[in-house]
Chain A
């Protein structure tokens, strides 16, 4: 069955520190992987996506993610977190052949000064 797991419900980091948000997926076909960010009361903004090719993908706002097929992971990273990065982050997996996106349960990021 298809699923996305974000093991960390909540993460707190200091401003300027590095960040890694974990995402593991279970998917029967070739996955298309996405990271979205959601600020309170807002919709989802796409940070980055992976379809094929280079397994390290760059996104907006200084984020990057690495696809590791052997580990079924697509972890999101940022070398230096800014206070404005505090938000909810969702990992999602989909496929060209199907309609549905499968979302993880989200990781809430708090940034402390």
Chain B
């Protein structure tokens, strides 16, 4: 149980275009989903926290107009990188947190490798 999927696993896009990444909790309802960014050989950096039906909360320094997050249902959150540039190339990982009694756990997706050319 507690499986989180991400789609696509890899995406290459041209500079200036937008790309959408989906994060789904397959066998549980996620009250909260998180989006992380990971640079090569570095730790995970939390970008934003999203709760179903409400606006995402972005971490300091993360451009909310560039990284659009939508959490339309209890099983789906999307991250859209708008007007992507090469510096947005990174590994993006989502995680999902169930409601009680497992609210202290997070289950991670397999990640999405974004390359902007």
Given A42-B110, A43-B111, A99-B32, the answer on whether A90 and B104 have CB atoms closer than 8 Å is no
Give the size category of B's interface with A.
20 to 34
| B window 1-46: CB within 8 A of A | 6, 32, 34, 41-44, 46
The reply to whether A36 and B108 form a contact with Cβ atoms under 8 Å apart is yes
CA–CA, A43 and B62, complex, Å: 22
Q: Which residues of B contact A108 (CB under 8 A)?
A: 41
Q: Tell whether, in the assembled complex, residue A103 and residue B41 are in contact, meaning their CB atoms are under 8 Å apart.
A: no
A106 touches B104 (CB 8 A): no
B113 within 8 A of A: yes
- Do A103 and B44 touch (CB < 8 A)? yes
Q: Is the CB of A90 within 8 A of B44?
A: yes
* Pair A105/B104 contact, Cβ less than 8 Å: no
Q: Decide if the interface of chain B is mainly helix, strand, loop or mixed.
A: strand
Q: Answer yes or no: B80 CB below 8 A from chain A CBs.
A: no
**A49 CA / B104 CA spacing, docked (Å):** 11
Asked whether any CB of chain B lies closer than 8 Å to the CB of A113, the reply is no
Candidates B34, B42, B109; contact of A99 at CB < 8 Å: B34
Q: How far is the CA of A105 from the CA of B39 in the complex (A)?
A: 11
Contact residue range for chain A? 20 to 34
Minimum CB–CB distance for A47 against chain B, Å: 12
What residue of chain B has the Cβ atom nearest to residue A90's Cβ? B43
Residues of A within 8 Å of B75, CB to CB, are none
Instruction: Select which of A32, A43, A51, A94 is within 8 A of B109 by beta carbon.
Output: A43
A17 CB within 8 Å of chain B: no
In the complex, the answer to whether A104 meets B104 with C-beta atoms within 8 Å is no
Q: Are B42 and A100 in contact (CB under 8 A)?
A: no
Task: Give the contacting residue for B108; candidates A43, A51, A95; CB below 8 A.
Answer: A43
**In whole angstroms, how far apart are the Cα atoms of A108 and B93 in the complex?**
19
